[in-house]
Amino acid sequence: MDLQTLKSIIEGLLFLAGDEGLNVRQIAEITESKPSEAQKAVESLQRDLRKSLRGVRVTKLAGAYHLTTLPEHSEYFERLAYSPSRATLSQAALETLAIVAYRQPITRIEIEEIRGVKSERAIHTLTNKNLIVETGRADAIGRPILYGTTKPFLDHFGLGGLEELPDASAFEAMVISEEEERLLFGSAASSASAGGEERSSEEGGLAGNSDEGLHEEEL
């Protein structure tokens, strides 16, 4: 494999790895290259990104390489985070929120088993919006984080308590349509409509355990 191709693959791998990042050994194993070749490619990619004034950098943190943004661009990222157009939730986030609301406390792995796709990004979004929060650790191998809903979640959807959640018979069957989703979270849909905002959606609904395993969530 030539250096340019290896660098391109590594850039994609670091993007998919997200906050966890990848170390040289992992990169070498995945790309079936020598650690020295992987290290050379990472360093070359770092130089390329700096030289071309790209908006991302390859940064080494705690022994792993990550794709990171530039600190000097932070004010624009804050604008994005608090933009009114970002106030609505994607279908992926709504699916994840529904699962947490009805099954809490629940771990990320359990959420992904129900949805059939990776849910780390959706969980991150919901945590940032203070709709879900870490409630403890499960008594299982690795002590995975448990998630539950928050008071702002109740306020956001106009609920006095979790007992006021709509009937979950369709949800319990692990199948939810876009129309059922709107019924489950009607208050949010009304709120978004009043503000003249349209909820962005992502393809796909809740799925049961997939025989093909978990697939990456579409961006």
Fold matches, 3-72 and 84-194 = yes
Radius of gyration of the chain measured on its C-alpha atoms: 20
Tell me what percent of the residues of the chain surpass a pLDDT of 90: 39
> Thinking of the domain 3-72, which architecture would CATH place it in?
Orthogonal Bundle (1.10)
Banded pLDDT at 10 (limits 50, 70, 90): very high
- CATH code given to domain 84-194: 1.10.10.10
- 66: enclosing H helix or E strand: strand 64-69
pTM for this entry: 0.45
CA 174-177-181 angle, 5° bins = 95
- The domain locations on the chain are 3-72, 84-194
Tell me what percent of the residues of the chain surpass a pLDDT of 70: 73
Determine the pLDDT at residue 1: 82
- 60: enclosing H helix or E strand: strand 56-61
Q: Look at residue 3 and tell me whether its pLDDT is greater than 60.
A: yes
Q: What is the mean pLDDT of the chain?
A: 78
> Who contacts 33 (Cβ-Cβ below 8 Å, separation ≥6)?
1, 6, 27, 41
Q: What is the DSSP letter of 71?
A: G
- Tens digits of residue pLDDT in 177-205: 444 455 555 544 444 444 444 333 333 34
Determine the pLDDT at residue 152: 87
The DSSP-derived string for 91-159 is HHHHHHHHHHHHH-SEEHHHHHHHHSB--HHHHHHHHHTTSEEEEEE-SSTT-PEEEEE-HHHHHHTT-
- Tens digits of residue pLDDT in 148-174: 999 988 887 788 888 888 876 645 544
Dihedral over Cα of 100, 105, 108, 112: its sign: negative
Q: Look at residue 74 and tell me whether its pLDDT is greater than 50.
A: yes
